[in-house]
Amino acid sequence: MAMSGLPMFADLAMTFLKEEYEDSPVFASALGLTEYDERLDDLSAASFERRTQRDAEWLRRFRAVPADGLGQAAIDRDHLISILRGREILHPHLMWKRQPATYLGPGLQGVFTLFLHRLRPERDLAEAARARLEAVPTNIEAGIANLDPALAPPIYVERAIGQAKAATRYARELVPNEVKDKALRERLAAAGETAAKAFERFGAHLADLQKKASGTYAVGEAIYTALLREKELLPYDAKQLRERGREQYDLLDAELRRLSKQISGKEDWVSLLHELNKVHAPDPEGMRREYEEWTERAREFLRRTGLVTLRPGERCSVEPSPHFQRPVLAVASYNGPPAFSDTLAGHFFVPFPPDGTSPDETQKRLEGNCTAGIPTTAVHEAYPGHHWHRTMSKDHPSHVRRVFSTPYFHEGWALYAEKVMREQGFFEDPRQELYHVEATIFRAARIVVDTSLHLGDMTFDEGVRFMMDRANHTEPNARAEVGRYCSWPTQASSYLTGMLEILDIRTRFLAKRGKTDVAALRTFHDAIASSGGLPTSLAERAIAEA
């Protein structure tokens, strides 16, 4: 007898997820599924074409499942449809022919996450890492074969060259030091040398490709709008979103002028921030210690106020950023506990400068992580931002929600976390408040730059200048930021857009219950954070139907 309704959907969803793990063993490992640890993703042209066909078939199958009778699983069905539709929208852009980082990521992240979470004994981890390192040359050869200079944008190639250099050192020098046993270290070193030579070969190829690369990063208005409406389930098109970003920028600019006048007697918040930027730790390790202190302060504030529920056993370490990420990421980041593991340990990565960075540029990067701005970032990345959210959502009974999320929720949530902590009095110094609002206006600037880049209305250099002039960025950080926007269309717009959507959901949630005290806020926070990382309209359905 054929299955129908909920059992049919549950069976389809699990089959789909298993195919996802098979297609991307590195992603599966990051989820805590250790049986995939010895394998790397297949990055051949045939594999990309096969995935395109498979995604189209799965989209058809999930759309054919009636929502009636599914209950909360109807939200999972709609989430899967949005994910697959997002892939379908981007397929014609052929990122696997444009983006060199496609061929660096699995070999780097696939080894790094093994040792980051250490879900298996050291011997098993070492053998898994060895197997992945030895498979790196296959990925690199696929990249050399697949990348098309007519499609690859110069900025993608430039960023990948820096990452390939960092990857070489990571594989050759740093990975072997992850294990204590001498024999295992020697085996890892041999495999690391194999991978390092492949990364060097890729770097040389990219240097040649850079001379010929002539592609565009801009996805265009139609694709950008389709991603907003059909992947993120938002009511805006690209130009409407840009106007929203500009409107928010103006509102936040007025707030910054008010705070600046309170602090310095003048409304020139840009000049004030330039002064305050110079008050920072003397070196990257000092910066890390400041982040660590404020992370613990934020956690203690939550414990004292009861603004959220803290799960027993959760913890968040504050660490230097991975070496291979430093050339392409100039801001803090977070890596959460694997979804299918017992651990509640998260990792908050502080943006250390790449190897070989000059003392002058190191100082500029430290200015971008000044003392008054660190409390806001600690809230965003840890409490009650990414880390707290991840610890609340990782054990959701739906595997779909454990596996998939959208930045429009999880980045929107982290920016919302900053706002609610200010509302509740966490930032006691007006200078800290100034940097909180500056962090928000930075996200408004991101919307303007991200949409403009992909609509073809702004060049890379114009985007860099905009972030320097309008978002308090030093040039190295601005270049790293804009390079990221070029590589990941719509992601940079997710922070402020998602926050505004969550604020609207909160308003409706509290109005329905007729309460706005801390207990009501905690109920809202716990409910929406526990629902996963859904598109915001689905998140509202989830807490309404729970």
CA distance 174 to 475: 29
Nearest to 107 by CA among 20, 208, 34, 194: 194
Q: Tens of pLDDT along 285-294?
A: 999 999 999 9
Q: Domain check: are 353 and 431 in the same one?
A: yes
- Give domain status of residue 257, yes or no: yes
* pTM: predicted TM-score of the whole model, two decimal places: 0.94
Provide mean pLDDT across the span 158-169.
94
Q: Domain check: are 201 and 68 in the same one?
A: yes
Q: Which pLDDT belongs to residue 368?
A: 87
CA distance 18 to 417: 34
Q: Kind of pairing, strands 333-335 and 345-350?
A: antiparallel
CA distance 479 to 467: 9
CA distance 65 to 74: 9
Comparison of pLDDT for 7 and 280, the residue scoring more: 280
Nearest to 405 by CA among 253, 535, 221, 301: 535
Element (H, E) at 345: strand 345-350
Q: Domain check: are 120 and 39 in the same one?
A: yes
Q: Tens of pLDDT along 176-202?
A: 999 999 999 999 999 999 999 999 999
Q: Tens of pLDDT along 345-362?
A: 999 999 999 888 999 989
Q: Which pLDDT belongs to residue 472?
A: 80
**328, pLDDT greater than 70:** no
Q: Which pLDDT belongs to residue 330?
A: 73
Provide mean pLDDT across the span 460-489.
90
**545, pLDDT greater than 80:** no
Q: Tens of pLDDT along 408-434?
A: 999 999 999 999 999 999 999 999 999
Q: Which pLDDT belongs to residue 474?
A: 80
Nearest to 349 by CA among 277, 284, 414, 442: 284
- Give domain status of residue 437, yes or no: yes
Task: For 334, list phi and psi in degrees, rounded to 5.
Answer: -140, 140
Q: Domain check: are 338 and 481 in the same one?
A: yes
- Give domain status of residue 220, yes or no: no
End residue of a domain, out of 182, 212, 242: 212
CA distance 213 to 205: 12
Q: Which pLDDT belongs to residue 322?
A: 87
CA distance 506 to 235: 18
Looking at this protein, which amino acid is placed at residue 199?
A: F
Do residues 58 and 85 lie in contact, with contact meaning Cβ atoms separated by under 8 Å?
no
Q: Which pLDDT belongs to residue 87?
A: 98
- Whether the upstream peptide bond of residue 354 has omega within 30° of 0, thus cis, is no
Per-residue confidence band for 4, with pLDDT thresholds at 50, 70 and 90: low
Q: Which pLDDT belongs to residue 386?
A: 98
What's the mean per-residue pLDDT of the chain?
95
Q: How many domains does the chain have?
A: 2
From first CA to last CA, the distance across the chain in angstroms is 31
Q: Domain check: are 271 and 186 in the same one?
A: no
- Give domain status of residue 224, yes or no: no
Provide mean pLDDT across the span 108-118.
94
Residue 84 vs residues 106, 227, 539, 540: alpha-carbon distances, Å? 21, 11, 18, 21
End residue of a domain, out of 183, 212, 241: 212
- Give domain status of residue 221, yes or no: no
Q: Domain check: are 163 and 293 in the same one?
A: no
**329, pLDDT greater than 80:** no
Provide mean pLDDT across the span 92-98.
96
- Give domain status of residue 225, yes or no: no
Q: Tens of pLDDT along 371-411?
A: 999 999 999 999 999 999 999 999 999 999 999 999 999 99
Q: Token digits for 507?
A: 């308003």
CA distance 76 to 9: 9
Nearest to 184 by CA among 235, 227, 120, 237: 120
Q: Domain check: are 252 and 205 in the same one?
A: no
pLDDT > 70: percent of the chain: 99
- φ/ψ bin of 211: left (φ > 0), alpha (ψ from -120 to 50), beta (otherwise): alpha
Q: Tens of pLDDT along 199-222?
A: 999 999 999 999 999 999 999 999
Task: For 433, list phi and psi in degrees, rounded to 5.
Answer: -60, -40
- Give domain status of residue 287, yes or no: yes
**Secondary structure of residue 2 in the 3-state scheme:** coil
Which residues constitute the domain of residue 125? Answer: 5-212
**546, pLDDT greater than 70:** no
Helices (H) and strands (E) in the chain, counts: 24, 3
Q: Domain check: are 139 and 238 in the same one?
A: no
- Give domain status of residue 264, yes or no: yes
428's CB contacts (< 8 A; 6+ apart) are: none
Q: Domain check: are 273 and 390 in the same one?
A: yes
Provide mean pLDDT across the span 84-91.
98
Do residues 133 and 321 lie in contact, with contact meaning Cβ atoms separated by under 8 Å?
no
Q: Tens of pLDDT along 26-44?
A: 999 999 999 999 999 999 9
CA distance 431 to 428: 9
CA distance 125 to 494: 35
Q: Domain check: are 304 and 199 in the same one?
A: no
End residue of a domain, out of 212, 243, 261: 212
Q: Domain check: are 240 and 208 in the same one?
A: no
Q: Tens of pLDDT along 515-532?
A: 999 999 999 999 999 999
Q: For residue 312, how many C-alpha atoms fall within 13 Å in the half-sphere facing its CB?
A: 0
CA distance 25 to 28: 5
Q: Domain check: are 205 and 253 in the same one?
A: no
